[in-house]
Amino acid sequence: MSESKDATGLDAEGDVAADFLEELLDILDMDGDIDISVEAGRAKVAIVADGPHQDLKRLVGPEGEVLDALQDLARLAVQSETGEMSRLMLDIADFRAGRRERLAEQAREAIVKVRETGESFALPPMNAFERKVVHDVVLEAGLVSESEGADPDRHVVITPQA
């Protein structure tokens, strides 16, 4: 497997995942449009609705656990079709987009505490997507962050700049 895929390969990943997700929506008799894009070197597929998101929110789950499982299934569908591992990102009803903003705000609040106290600050356990969002915000602020612990308790610790 190559380290990075070209845009054509990423577009193909998105197409395979979109086909899989369209079949799933048909089976569940749910409405939703599928948007495919490439973002930060990854295929990104989003299921969006024109109207209220109530039906689609069932595919997210209270904490995004259903969304995470569907993302894993979409990645498996891509791997089955292409023979290569996928880093595809799936979003449904803008859950990840909203979650990203809430996490960025949480990281900014933690950064203020670290700067005020000069001491490290540990955030609660997060999944890999969430930790990446926090690491990006911390890096942009000029501080240092590190993931510690093992799943499901893996979390980010923010430290003052050395």
Q: Does domain 97-159 have CATH number 2.60.40.420?
A: no
Least confident of 36-40, 50-54, 77-81, 144-148: 50-54
Residue 1 has pLDDT above 50, yes or no: no
Q: CA-to-CA distance for 51 and 82, rounded, in angstroms?
A: 34
Any idea what DSSP says for residue 50? S
Q: Are 154 and 148 in contact (CB under 8 A)?
A: yes
Q: Are 143 and 111 in contact (CB under 8 A)?
A: yes
For 43-59, write each residue's pLDDT tens digit.
999 999 876 666 898 99
Mean pLDDT of 61-83: 94
Ranges of each domain in the chain: 7-93, 97-159
What pLDDT, on the 0 to 100 scale, is given for residue 52?
A: 65
What pLDDT, on the 0 to 100 scale, is given for residue 3?
A: 42
Q: Does domain 7-93 have CATH number 3.30.300.20?
A: yes
Fold match between domain 7-93 and domain 97-159: no
For 16-33, write each residue's pLDDT tens digit.
999 999 999 999 999 899
The whole-model pTM stands at: 0.77
